[in-house]
Chains A and B, each alone.
Chain A
């Protein structure tokens, strides 16, 4: 099928030992193992969130990142202080990888007063400005112009930052994307738009495959229309993502011109709680992608390259597990928000604050 063919073209043979950083040096084992720790923490966090949902501790809607970890982990490894990231609703990983406290993220999912935004946002709407996490957004495509505007603001003020702007394959068909990409290309000609578009192409916009959503399935190539250079990367392979990320983030930072990367990835779980994914994808397809689970792939490569053995990886996973358990405990033990919070943070001067 077409998805397999597209992915196949991108299959990277780069092993971990071949990963280079911005200076062209090999990424050291300690860094890779730390990224392994982060990826496993994200996965375990998401699994704990799914459990919390099933237990009724998390209500509403829950969209987890399982299967896609290599994308945000790799790109955000190239994130520097002063950079910003903005994403859609599948946003837990981005917050965690940018440095949000796992306890505060889980508490937000639980709707507790100790959550990142005091329980006002929930799963799809995290925000952590201090860490450069400029929000997860629940309207598909709606955040894209914001990211482009932030990038303009950075260069206008002479800041060296980069905006990592994450969007799904589903968002690329939304009008806001096309308006914003056009502006990014336009402003980038003058070096005024350091936006790195990262398309997390997990093959499905909810239940509608890329093939069923567009007659032109090469999503990266859509950026040609806006004068934005682009490439694709194997989004299941952390090594490939890292190598790409370091190179392109530096390039965007130096030129002030936008760039786009289509990361080919897969959500190995349903779209959200309550999704029936057998209705739109086959067991065989899911199994095939799971064989290339980014965490398993990285484990094999760490072992093959001699960076770690099973025991070491087990110890790292145990560390991640403890961190997630602590986050769940924190959320469980946290109080609900004060009802007064309903009326706070409306206006600067709290005029007409909703009462």
Chain B
């Protein structure tokens, strides 16, 4: 088991002037605070998972919840992912709004049957008589020397599962707004938290009932010469690459998908049509990835507007993120790799 990195590995991205006036919270604080508020507001919400209670969660996202809400609502479970997700589905079937935590996305595989075969299908198979208002919060992604079982980005599997919704916020504000929307949604939502962002990424967080609708992308940076479409931690790397390109006179737009399912197709298509050049970036290995889906979408819907082939920068097609730091670095997508691809795209 690895701990979240305590020290930032890269500088936080600069916020805009207005945002800097609002309270600054880290990514993890935004999730914690929102969960806390939602639990206060709605007794149907229960949190369950490994060490979410007394310990406050492996990354301490759920710190303090047990003290306020008690063991009936903050449930420390045994190490049993199938049992956690499966029983959470049952709770949702009986009127609760469970927020289950799986410690690492790498651990979710043993609960795949429950998520893909049951949670995703309950509405469809029950004549719309029942639904599954379940949120599964999961840290994902690499770059923390987690190696084989603490680094994965298998979000495409869930995007490929009709009936599930999948979100991957990149900012504290979106973490707050999307978590609120996910909890209030009547369908099962996989809430992906890139673990590198927990304490690294800080930003303004709107107080009050701030909610980000599922299925809406965000223009993280406006531009006119090329579009980068990405999500999660890669948004920050893409913004760095776009800033570097700007120094060389190129205007690059960055679209932060925020929701992977439903996908904001209109926002992606509109940006691709506007700039005529699209680069899709993801940390996950490339074949059949979210990046593949977005690239296909652009090719199908914006072909006549394109001045270059759609390009992808994504993880290599190898079985695991290796432990050795140089190998891990070689696996990971970063601003430098994005910048290199962007250079080729802009020059095309």
Within 8 A of A (CB), among B51-98: 71-72, 77-78, 80, 82-83, 85-96, 98
* Any B CB within 8 A of the CB of A175: yes
**Smallest CB-CB separation from A186: which chain B residue?**
B78
Interface centre among B91, B123, B214 (most CB of A within 10 A): B91
With both beta carbons as reference points, the residue of chain A lying nearest to B83 in the complex is identified as A179
Q: How far is the CB of A144 from chain B (nearest CB, A)?
A: 7
Give every chain A residue within 8 A of B162 (Cβ-Cβ): 346, 352, 354
Asked whether, in the complex, the Cβ of B85 is within 8 Å of the Cβ of A352, the reply is: no
**B186: chain A residues within 8 A (beta carbon):** 348
Check B126 against A145 for contact (C-beta < 8 Å). no
- Alpha-carbon gap, A195 to B83, bound state (A): 15
Q: Are B118 and A152 in contact (CB under 8 A)?
A: no
Q: Which chain B residue lies CB-closest to A165?
A: B90
Judge whether B126 and A117 touch: CB under 8 Å.
Answer: yes
CA distance A144 to B96 in the complex (A): 18
B5 within 8 A of A: no
Q: How far is the CA of A148 from the CA of B48 in the complex (A)?
A: 14
Evaluate contact between A145 and B165: CB separation under 8 angstroms: no
Least Cβ–Cβ distance between B181 and chain A, in angstroms: 11
Q: Is A151 an interface residue (CB 8 A)?
A: yes
Which of A72-80, A125-133, A231-239 lies at the interface with chain B?
Answer: A125-133
Contact pattern, B 94-107, Cβ under 8 Å of A = 1, otherwise 0: 11101000000000
Given contacts A147-B90, A157-B95, contact A183 B113 (CB under 8 A): no
Contact pick for B80, options A116, A154, A182, A347, CB 8 Å: A182
Which residues of A have CB within 8 Å of B88? 149
Residue B182 interfacial (CB < 8 Å): no
Min CB gap A138→B, angstroms: 8
The yes or no answer to A207 lying at the interface (CB within 8 A) is: no
Is B227's CB within 8 Å of the partner chain A?
no
- Find the A residue at minimum CB distance from B81: A179
Contact A129 B78, CB 8 Å, known A120-B125, A139-B117, A156-B72: no
Pair count A-B, CB < 8 A: 150
- Chain A window 165-176, contacts with chain B (Cβ cutoff 8 Å), 1 for yes, 0 for no: 000000000011
| Residues from chain B with Cβ under 8 Å of A180 in the complex | 82-83, 86-87
B187, CB-defined interface residue at 8 Å: yes
Q: Are A156 and B83 in contact (CB under 8 A)?
A: no
Residues of A near B117 (CB, < 8 A) are: 139, 142
CB distance A153 to B125 under 8 Å? no
Q: Are B123 and A146 in contact (CB under 8 A)?
A: no
**Residues B46 and A176 in contact, CB atoms below 8 Å apart:** no
How far in angstroms is the closest Cβ of chain B from A335?
16
* Alpha-carbon distance A192/B87, docked complex (angstroms): 13
Contact A148 B215 (CB under 8 A): no
CB pair A117 B125 closer than 8 Å: yes
Q: Least Cβ distance of B36 to chain A in Å?
A: 19
**Residues in B whose Cβ lies below 8 Å from that of A261:** none
Q: Chain B residues near A117 (CB, 8 Å)? A: 125-127
B3 contacts partner chain A, Cβ-Cβ < 8 Å: no
Decide if A347 touches B165 in the complex (CB within 8 Å).
yes
For residue A255, CB closer than 8 A to chain B, the reply is: no
Interface status of A137 (Cβ within 8 A of chain B) = yes
Instruction: Give every chain B residue within 8 A of A347 (Cβ-Cβ).
Output: 123, 163, 165, 187
Question: What residue in chain B is nearest A155 (Cβ atoms)?
Answer: B72
Report the minimal beta-carbon distance from B47 to chain A, rounded to whole angstroms: 13
Q: Are B163 and A149 in contact (CB under 8 A)?
A: no
Decide: A154 and B94 in contact? CB cutoff 8 A. Answer: yes
Interface string of A330-355 (1 = CB under 8 A from B): 00000000000000111110011010
Given contacts A157-B95, A348-B185, contact A127 B125 (CB under 8 A): yes
The answer to whether A348 and B89 touch across the interface, beta carbons within 8 angstroms, is: no
Query: Known: A148-B87, A150-B90, A176-B82. Contact between A156 and B125, CB under 8 A?
Result: no
Choose, from B9-17, B128-136, B282-290, B340-348, the stretch at the interface.
B128-136
Is the CB of B279 closer than 8 A to any CB of chain A? no
Q: Which residues of the partner chain B approach A175 to less than 8 Å between Cβ atoms?
A: 82, 110
Q: Are B118 and A146 in contact (CB under 8 A)?
A: yes
Q: Which chain B residue has the least Cβ–Cβ distance from A342?
A: B124
List B contacts of A183 (CB < 8 A): 77-78, 80, 83, 87
Q: Is A118 interfacial (CB 8 A cutoff)?
A: yes
A231 to B92, CA, bound (A): 30
CA distance A150 to B131 in the complex (A): 13
Interface string of B133-175 (1 = CB under 8 A from A): 0000000000000000000000000000011010000000000
Contact B94 A150 (CB under 8 A): yes
B114 at the interface (CB under 8 A from A): yes
Within the assembled complex, what's the spacing in Å between the Cα atoms of A244 and B110? 35
CB <8 Å contact, A121 and B114: no
A143 within 8 A of B: yes
Shortest beta-carbon distance from B159 to chain A in Å: 10
In whole angstroms, how far apart are the Cα atoms of A179 and B85 in the complex? 11
B263 contacts chain A at the CB level, 8 A cutoff:
yes
When the two chains form their complex, are residues B86 and A176 in contact, meaning their CB atoms are under 8 A apart?
yes
List chain B residues, Cβ under 8 A from A156.
46, 72, 91, 94, 96
Determine whether B32 belongs to the interface, using a CB cutoff of 8 Å to chain A.
Answer: no
Whose C-beta in chain B lies nearest to the C-beta of A149? B90
In angstroms, Cα B126 to Cα A79, docked, is: 21
Q: Are A182 and B83 in contact (CB under 8 A)?
A: yes
Whole-angstrom CA separation of A304 from B59 in the bound complex: 68
Please name all residues of chain B whose beta carbon is closer than 8 Å to the beta carbon of A192 when the two chains form the complex: 72
Shortest C-beta distance, B179 to chain A (Å), equals 18
B261 within 8 Å of A by Cβ? yes
Residues of B contacting A118 in the complex (Cβ-Cβ under 8 angstroms): 127
Residues of A within 8 A of B206 (CB): none
Chain A residues whose CB sits within 8 angstroms of the CB of B316 once the complex forms: none
What are 21 A-B pairs at a CB distance below 8 A? Answer: A117-B125, A120-B125, A127-B126, A127-B130, A130-B129, A134-B130, A142-B117, A146-B87, A148-B83, A148-B90, A149-B88, A149-B90, A149-B91, A149-B92, A151-B94, A153-B93, A153-B95, A175-B82, A176-B113, A180-B86, A183-B87
What 5 A-B pairs are tightest by C-beta distance, nearest first? A149-B90, A145-B86, A153-B94, A179-B83, A149-B87
| B residues neighboring A (CB under 8 Å) | 46, 71-72, 77-78, 80, 82-83, 85-96, 98, 110, 113-114, 117-118, 122-131, 162-163, 165, 185-187, 214-215, 261-263
Q: A127-B127, A153-B94 are in contact. List 10 more A-B contacts (CB 8 A).
A: A135-B122, A145-B87, A145-B114, A148-B83, A148-B90, A154-B94, A180-B86, A346-B124, A348-B185, A352-B261
